[in-house]
Amino acid sequence: MSAQPTPAQPRSAQLMSGTALAAEIVADVARRAEALVERTGVRPGLATVLVGDDPASVTYVTMKRNRAAKAGIDSRLVRLPAATTTAELVAAVRALSEDPTVHGILLQHPVPAHIDERAAFEAIDPAKDVDGVTMHSFAAMAFGEPGFASCTPGGIMRLLDAHNVELTGRQAVVVGRSPILGKPMGMLLLARDATVTYCHSRTVDLASHLAAADILVAAVGRPEFIKGRDIKPGAVVVDAGYNPGNVGDVDFAGAMERASLVTPVPGGVGPMTIAVLLEQTVTAAEAAGCM
C-alpha cells in the first residue's frame, strides 16, 4: 500500500509592521528637531507643494503635514490651482529652494498632466530634496554616494533591515518601474547584493518571475494584483501598493498563507514613507544649520 501524501501544513506569515518602526523613527526626528532648535534657534521646515485638488493627494499632503507638525517640524503648504503652468510651478519651487527657512521641499506627485513634472522636480535644490525625486538624488543613490533616498524605497529598506531580511545573493523581484518607487527600489536592493529582476506591464510570463522571488516588492497600483498562489513559499513580500479602500497590490490573506514575512496595507510601507521624509527633513535642516 502506498503512503498517503501529507497535506501541506497551512502556514501563517509574520507581519512586517511599519507603524511601530515609523513611530520610533519619528520620535528620534522629534528629538533631533528640538536639539537643533536649542543649538541654533532654527526649527526644521518642510514646504509641501500641492497643485490642483486631487482628493488622494489632498489626503496624503494633510497626513504628511500633520505628522511633520507632531515631530516638531514647521510645515508650510503652497497650494496652486490645477491650471498652474510649468513655468509658474518651476518659479514657485525655485522660490522655496532659495528660502533659507525651508529645509525640505515635497512636490506632491502626480501633478496635472499638462505640467512637465520633471522640470518642476529639477527646480528643487538637491540639498532640500528630502523626497528624493531629483536626478541628482537618483544618481547619488545609483552610485552609492550620500544623498536623499526616494522615501518609499528608503522606508522599505529600513523595514527589511529591521526584520533582518538577508538580501545578499537572494532573488529580488520588483513589480513596477516608476521613477519614484520601482526603479530606485531595485537599485537599492542591487546595492545590497540581491539579484534583482524588474517586472512591468510588458513583462512576458510574470508568473515565472514571481515564483522565483525570495523577496517580492509589489509596486503596481492594481488592487490585489498578486495572488497567494503566485508567491514562492517562504518569500518575503513587501506590498507598496495603496489602492482605494485601503487595498494593496497583493492579496493579503493569500500572501499570509504562503510567505514568511508580509507587510500589511495599511500600516506597512505607508508610515515608513512618511517617517523617512521627516527624517530626511531634519537631516537637511541639520546640514543647513552647520553652514
The one among 147, 232, 270, 275 contacting ligand NAP by CB under 6 A:
270
- CA 167/CA 121 separation, integer angstroms: 31
Q: Which is nearer to ligand NAP, 215 or 288 (CB)?
A: 215
Which of the following is catalytic: 108, 183, 214, 239? Answer: 108
Q: Provide the grid cell at 105.
A: 521641499
Q: Is 68 in the site for ligand NAP (CB under 6 A)?
A: no
Q: Is 208 in the site for ligand NAP (CB under 6 A)?
A: no
Q: Is 250 in the site for ligand NAP (CB under 6 A)?
A: no
Whether the ω angle into residue 179 lies within 30 degrees of 0, i.e. cis, is no
Q: Is 164 in the site for ligand NAP (CB under 6 A)?
A: no
Q: Which of 45, 76, 152 is nearest to 109 (CA)?
A: 152
Binding mask 28-57 for ligand NAP (x = CB under 6 A): ------------------------------
For residue 229, CA distances in Å to 114, 198, 203, 256, 285 come to 40, 20, 19, 11, 46
The one among 25, 156, 173, 219 contacting ligand NAP by CB under 6 A:
219
Provide, rounded to whole angstroms, the least separation between the CB of residue 121 and ligand NAP. 14
Q: Is 175 in the site for ligand NAP (CB under 6 A)?
A: yes
Going through 189-274 in order, the beta strands assigned E by DSSP cover 195-199, 215-218, 236-239, 261-262
Q: Which is nearer to ligand NAP, 235 or 288 (CB)?
A: 235
Q: Is 104 in the site for ligand NAP (CB under 6 A)?
A: no
Q: Is 147 in the site for ligand NAP (CB under 6 A)?
A: no
Q: Is 242 in the site for ligand NAP (CB under 6 A)?
A: yes
Provide, rounded to whole angstroms, the least separation between the CB of residue 245 and ligand NAP. 12
Q: Is 213 in the site for ligand NAP (CB under 6 A)?
A: no
- CA 222/CA 241 separation, integer angstroms: 7
SS3 230: helix
Q: Which of 234, 184, 232 is nearest to 210 (CA)?
A: 232
Q: Provide the grid cell at 242.
A: 495603496
Active site residue 131: yes
Q: Is 181 in the site for ligand NAP (CB under 6 A)?
A: yes
Active site residue 4: no
Which of the following is catalytic: 64, 128, 183, 232? Answer: 64
Residues in the chain: 291
Bridge partners of 218, per DSSP, are: 175, 239
Q: Which is nearer to ligand NAP, 65 or 177 (CB)?
A: 177
For residue 250, CA distances in Å to 50, 95, 254, 271 come to 29, 41, 8, 18
Q: Which residues are catalytic?
A: 64, 108, 131
The residues that touch ligand NAP, with contacts defined as CB under 6 A, are 152, 175-178, 180-182, 199-203, 206, 219-221, 240-243, 269-270, 273
